[in-house]
Every structure is written in structure tokens, then in C-alpha cells.
Amino acid sequence: MAALAMGIDLGGTNARAAVVDRDSGEIVAAHKEPHRERSPAVVAETVARAVRQSGRAAGMEPVAFGHVGVGVAGQCLGRTGVVLNAPNLGWRDVPFGELLERALGVRVRIANDLSTAAWGEQRFGAARGLDDVALVFVGSGVGSGLILGGRLHDGHRGVAGELGHVKVRPMRPDTAVRRCGCGEMGCLEAYTSGMNIAARVREELTAGATSVVRDLVQGDLDRVNATVLDTACARGDTYARALWEEVADLLGTAIAALVTLLNPARVILGGGVILGCPELQSRVREVFDARVSRSAAAGLSLERAFLGDDAGVIGAALLE
Ligand SMILES: [Zn+2]
């Protein structure tokens, strides 16, 4: 009989629980539950319900899994189960591991969702069998997950891999620096995430910038997103091109720094902004090639994520 494990992906709007075959990475059963209320105790109950439902579909009670793994969209102290900061859930310093253990009656292991996605991709996806791998995600947020020496690397406190919160703008008081969702100033995410790009474009168009973007969204600035910018760029729009050069410069330089520092065998790219915007991606790759250290880049490949939205639950199920 296959060895089955339980993984959970906890995002800002729903929780997905999946029973995963440890040997093949195959998802045997899955269940998704929306959480309308974000109070930690209520979310723990919602997650527990999703776990029971998907377990039942595979003929197993939660206790039969021994423990469950959870990937959370936020900063987590893995060893204590505390979620330090999860902006999508509006949480700070929430002992979610403890709450979920109480709701389920089994041990709970928590990690950042990009760490679990990197772990899933390393075991069964785009970086199968490679010991040193970085997953770089550019979507609604920006971040990374690191596998070093064949192990998930979460650092001293469990918060390693926060590429999105690396500061990329000078601290000089005379420069306008954007504030990030994490509360700090000048983070990579504040300039390159889908949400932040859209917010900036709305501001600049409202202030009178000229761009074909305005026509593409038929004047409805709420419809501005990274894909629209990419289309504008492909059509030769000057505003979109300048913005993409800037975003690509920041992302390409940051990924080059990550590779220069850690020397992974592969970088996996995930997230709708980098995967869904070919104009942006080709510029990021150009900047990356120009700025990475030659010695670290030799033998390196940049690949698209393979498991998509499943990477997180698969990796979470494989947390020990
Ligand atoms: Zn930040």
C-alpha cells in the first residue's frame, strides 16, 4: 500500500488539503474550503474540515497520517508553529500550529508556502533530484524558497528565502521610496509584485502619464494588471517599456545576486507575473545573464515551475 501524507496550502481566501502519495508525489484526494472569516481559531476549524474531508475521500482519519504539513502565505517560525506575519490573512504572531493541533489532534508542521512549493518541485517537479535549488516566485507577491544540500533551508528562525523583502532602493531621505506590504521601505516586492505594479501604474496614469494601457483597460484603471502592461510593452508603448525595463532590472539583478550567493543548480520560476508576461520574462533573463557571476552561472538552468498550484500541497505533505 502506498505511503500517504497530508499537506495543506493555506492562502488568503481558501485552504486546500491534499492526500499525497509520498513515493510518487501524486495527489490521491483533495478538498478546498473557503474561509470567509479570518480569525485564527475559525481558520483552524476550516483547515481541519478540509483535512477531514480529503482524508475521508482516501479512507483515512487525520490521526492516521501521524502529522500534517502546512504551507502558509506568510512568514512562519517553523519550529514553533507561529505565523509571524501573513498580510493576506491579516495575521501577526498567531500560534497557528498550536490551534490546528488542537483542532485535529495530530502534530502540525508549518512552513512558508514558497518553501513548501520549492520542496514539492525538488521532490517531484522541475528540479527533481537536484540538491541545490532556488524557487523564485513573482506573482501577487514576490518571494523565494530554498533547497540547499538536499534539505529545505529555512534559516535560524525559519524566515529564510524572503527575496521579496530584500531592499533594492537607497535609504536617502531625498528619494521617494515605496512602502512594502510588510511595513518596511524599498523592498523588491514593493516594485515588482503584480499588486504593487498595478497600484503604481494606476497612480501614474491618474497623475497624467500617457500610455496605451489606458485604452487597453477602456479607461477602467481597476483592470490594470501585469498582463495588460506586457501587452502594452509588446505594442511598443513607451511608458510600459520603461516600466518593464525598471522591473526587469530589479528582478534580474536580485535573481543574479541569489545565484551568485548560493550557487544553485537550478532556479525555478513561478507566479503569474513572471510566467504570464513574456516581454517581462525575456528582459529579466537578459538582465540576469548580464549580472550573474560567471562561475555561479556555469551549469545553471532557469526553468518554469512544473507542478503549478499543486507544488505547495505536495511539498507541505512531505514536511517532516
Ligand atoms: Zn517587504
How is the chain split into domains, by residue range? 4-123+309-317, 128-304
CA–CA distance, 259 with 33 (Å, rounded to integer): 37
Residue 165 has pLDDT above 80, yes or no: yes
Q: State what percent of residues in the chain have pLDDT above 90.
A: 88
| Distance from residue 23's CA to the centre of ligand 1 (Å) | 37
CA–CA distance, 245 with 280 (Å, rounded to integer): 8
User: Which CATH homologous superfamily contains domain 128-304?
Assistant: ATPase, nucleotide binding domain (3.30.420.40)
Q: Which pLDDT belongs to residue 183?
A: 86
Q: Output DSSP code: residue 191.
A: H
| Distance from residue 187's CA to the centre of ligand 1 (Å) | 5
- Placement of cell 544553485 in the chain: 264
Handedness of CA 21, 26, 28, 29 (dihedral sign): positive
Residue 129 has pLDDT above 80, yes or no: yes
Residue 287 has pLDDT above 70, yes or no: yes
Burial class (CB in 10 A: 0-12, 13-18, 19+), 134: buried
| Distance from residue 185's CA to the centre of ligand 1 (Å) | 7
Given the candidates 3.90.1150.10, 3.30.420.40, 3.40.640.10, 1.10.287.130, the CATH classification of the domain at 4-123+309-317 is 3.30.420.40
pLDDT tens for residues 89-110? 999 999 999 999 999 999 999 9
pLDDT average, residue stretch 180-208: 95
| Distance from residue 112's CA to the centre of ligand 1 (Å) | 15
Mark the residues whose beta carbon lies below 5 A from ion ligand 1. 165, 180, 182, 184, 187
pLDDT average, residue stretch 193-204: 96
**DSSP 3-state assignment of 14?**
strand
Do the two domains 4-123+309-317 and 128-304 of this chain adopt the same fold?
Answer: yes
| Distance from residue 64's CA to the centre of ligand 1 (Å) | 39
Phi/psi at 228 (5° precision): -65, -40
Phi/psi at 281 (5° precision): -60, -40
To which H or E segment does residue 142 belong? Answer: strand 142-148
- Contact by Cβ (8 Å): 163, 142: yes
- Contact by Cβ (8 Å): 318, 20: yes
| Distance from residue 142's CA to the centre of ligand 1 (Å) | 9
- Contact by Cβ (8 Å): 160, 146: yes
| Distance from residue 308's CA to the centre of ligand 1 (Å) | 24
CA–CA distance, 306 with 218 (Å, rounded to integer): 35
User: How many other CB atoms sit within 10 Å of the CB of residue 239?
Assistant: 19
CA–CA distance, 44 with 78 (Å, rounded to integer): 17
- Contact by Cβ (8 Å): 51, 66: no
Phi/psi at 192 (5° precision): -130, -5
